[in-house]
Amino acid sequence: MANDKTLNVEVWRGAEDGRFESFEVPARDSQTVLDVVSHIQRHLDETLTYRFACRVGMCGSCAMTVNGRPRWTCRTHVSRVARNGRLTIAPLRNLPVIKDLACDMTPFFDKWQQARAVFDPSTTRDDPVAAITPDSPKRREASAAIECINCAVCYAACDSVTWNPDYLGPAALNRAWTLVNDQRDADQRARRAAIMSDAGCGNCHSHQSCTELCPNELNPTRSIAGLKRLAMKNLFGGEPS
């Protein structure tokens, strides 16, 4: 039974057909959800599997489902999310579960490739460095969406991915939007084909869960809206912007 000194924590164990297991964890000041998971692994069950690396919100590896919502656990304080001293911690939605809290991220990163969300240089290292005007409209669009840490919180939050597992998803399309606006990139034709495909931006229903939950306060819904405008221009023969 949890009290103000302990937390009652339900943790997913096993693969897709697993179950929740209960642990009692000491409550601490300024405790993060990752602290709770680490306490369980170090003191209660060393077989618990989970991922983390930086602990400071940089690497994106620690995302899990906490009381029903995807979160970066190293920057999520227990005091913000616990309900009556209770936490339920599960792997991210929309990805295969490997074991316990660790998902297989392969489909997530495969979709970055499918979306052509990878910089394709138009010059070589021997060419002069491209002059980029930081406050040009295109550069401002790219810069506003660039700070993604690949945590997959938006991907797990997206109902459109749940409904259509082929959908490229908010992270890959957000990155594609930064490259659409990058004048140095040479792969715009293939990228436009990807974002206009059956798996592309037309799947987004603008629910905005990605924007609500992005730990870096990015707005993938806005980026995808930009891609939709670009797709419409292409569809009706307008010059791509």
Shortest separation between residue 67's beta carbon and ligand FES, angstroms: 18
CA Rg value for the chain: 20
> What distance in Å separates the CA atoms of residue 114 and residue 227, rounded to the nearest whole number?
15
Q: Is 55 in the site for ligand FES (CB under 6 A)?
A: yes
Q: Which member of 72, 112, 155, 177 binds ligand FES (CB under 6 A)?
A: 72
Which DSSP helix (H) or strand (E) runs through 21? Answer: strand 19-26
Shortest separation between residue 211's beta carbon and ligand FES, angstroms: 19
Cβ distance to ligand FES smaller for residue 23 or 72 = 72
Amino acid sitting at position 165: P
Shortest separation between residue 34's beta carbon and ligand FES, angstroms: 7
Q: Is 115 in the site for ligand FES (CB under 6 A)?
A: no
Cβ distance to ligand FES smaller for residue 74 or 179 = 74
Q: Is 54 in the site for ligand FES (CB under 6 A)?
A: yes
The site for ligand FES, by CB under 6 A, has a size of 12
Q: Which member of 3, 28, 58, 130 binds ligand FES (CB under 6 A)?
A: 58
> What distance in Å separates the CA atoms of residue 88 and residue 14, rounded to the nearest whole number?
15
> What distance in Å separates the CA atoms of residue 241 and residue 106, rounded to the nearest whole number?
32
> What distance in Å separates the CA atoms of residue 59 and residue 79, rounded to the nearest whole number?
23
Q: Is 57 in the site for ligand FES (CB under 6 A)?
A: yes
Angstrom CA distances, 214 to 69, 143, 166, stand at 11, 16, 21
**Burial 115-141, CB ≥16 within 10 A → b, else e:** bbbeeeeeeeeeeeeeeeeeeeeebeb
Cβ distance to ligand FES smaller for residue 61 or 181 = 61
Among the listed ranges 8-16, 59-67, 119-127, 194-202, the one in contact with ligand FES (CB under 6 A) is 59-67
Shortest separation between residue 6's beta carbon and ligand FES, angstroms: 24
- The residues in 165-184 that bind ligand FES, with binding defined as CB under 6 A, are none
Q: Which member of 9, 62, 81, 213 binds ligand FES (CB under 6 A)?
A: 62
Q: Is 232 in the site for ligand FES (CB under 6 A)?
A: no
Written in H, E and C, the secondary structure of 164-222 is CCCCCCHHHHHHHHHHHCCCCECCHHHHHHHHCCCCCHHHCCCCCHHHHHCCCCCCHHH
Residues that bind ligand FES (CB under 6 A): 52-55, 57-62, 72, 74
